[in-house]
Amino acid sequence: MKLLLISNSTNAGEEYLRYPMPQIEQFLQGVREIVFVPYAAVTFSYAAYEKKVQDRLGEIGIRVKSVHRAKDPVKMIREAEAICVGGGNTFALTKKMQEQGLMKAILKKIKAGTPYVGWSAGSNVSCPTICTTNDMPIVEPESFRAIGAIPFQINPHYLDANPEGHAGETREQRILEYIEANPRRWVVGLREGCMLHYENEQLQLIGPRPMRIFRKGQPIREVVAGDDLSFLFNK
């Protein structure tokens, strides 16, 4: 498998997809065309999302083809040179992917070695479920099941702080609830500006911030770029 799972598309004050572009370019070296899944878009059109991604990936000579234009989206996935799933609302993304049968089709392609790039919601759907998304369930998918390319859960945009004056649960507390209900599942809190790269059976953290690790019965810990992450594939 070849996966590039990015926490967020855009750092504050930067252009869209600017910070991860060096890693995306290296990851997609030799790729001329990528199939894009835009279904996390809610307040803007799929065509506008396709153009937004094309404008950026065009800088490195990659053509973007969106599945929303295909008469047979599964066929487009089957023939894809590489696959990209963008961020937005994870529930809207999951519902549409399930309706079109894209989850299984993408998993099959990933297992065959097709490169997969996702950010935010696109990283969430690479997990076994979407249960560690931060998004509001604005629509109801068939289930919470996702692609399942990796055996652990990602919480993208992971935040440590609780805003002043906010009396609700922190991100840490929400994840602790999840592992209480799902004691056999690892959860990683992927902070902004960071990503996970999986290739040649090696998982690597890329970025300037540590990644937070949660598992029921174990102390919360943090790992940094260069640390061994192979334990995340252990059940």
Q: Which of 120, 126, 160, 227 is catalytic?
A: 120
Mark whether 72 is an active-site residue: no
Query: Which two structure tokens, joined as six digits, stand for 215?
Result: 């598992």
At residue 167, the pLDDT reads: 62
At residue 12, the pLDDT reads: 87
In this prediction, the residues of the chain whose per-residue pLDDT falls under 70 are: 163, 166-167, 235
Q: Which of 66, 68, 126, 135 is catalytic?
A: 135
Output the domain CATH number for residue 21: 3.40.50.880
Mark whether 120 is an active-site residue: yes
Mean pLDDT of the chain: 95
Q: What is the number of domains present in the chain?
A: 1
pTM: 0.95
At residue 67, the pLDDT reads: 98
Structural domain harbouring 95: 3-233
**pLDDT tens per residue, range 205-232:** 999 999 999 999 999 999 999 999 999 9
